[in-house]
Amino acid sequence: MFYLLGHLTAVHDRLLPMLGFGERLHPELDEDFLTNPDRHSPDRVSADELRRAWSEVNQQLMAAIVAFPPEEWLKKHGAVSEEDFAKEPLRNRLAVVQSRTIHAGFHGGQIILVVKRG
């Protein structure tokens, strides 16, 4: 469960610049929670630090999403070039949020399974 929380925190942190909401808050989480598989190395962040990072990232992300003007959602996100966006306009900010929501839901199901087994 620790790894999943770290993974989701790192993924959500990457949304900040991708959606134009500012710089990342915790890029240091990438190596442990995106680059390497679960338990690849000893935990370098404590559970308290991870919970704090989770809260910081998601508070900033939610505040930006709530304040974001509706007309901005269908514009390109930061990980797609102007050329590619012209060819595929569905590669927009809304699509990124939808895919990340599905991703979080998938891992939420994993967390429920872990809790029920425990």
Longest dimension (CA), the chain: 49
pTM here is: 0.88
**pLDDT at 118 exceeding the cut of 70:** no
* Per-residue confidence (pLDDT) for residue 98, from 0 to 100: 96
CATH number of the domain within which 98 lies: 1.20.120.450
* Per-residue confidence (pLDDT) for residue 1, from 0 to 100: 82
pLDDT digits (tens, 9 = 90+) for 68-113: 999 999 999 999 999 999 999 999 999 999 999 999 999 989 888 8
Which uninterrupted H or E stretch holds 95?
helix 93-117
Tell me how far apart the alpha carbons of residues 41 and 39 are, in angstroms, rounded to a whole number. 5
What average pLDDT does this structure show over 112-118?
Answer: 83
Domain that holds residue 113: 2-117
pLDDT digits (tens, 9 = 90+) for 18-36: 999 999 999 999 999 999 8
Would you state the structure tokens that stand for residue 22, as one six-digit string?
Answer: 């500012």
Domain count, the chain: 1
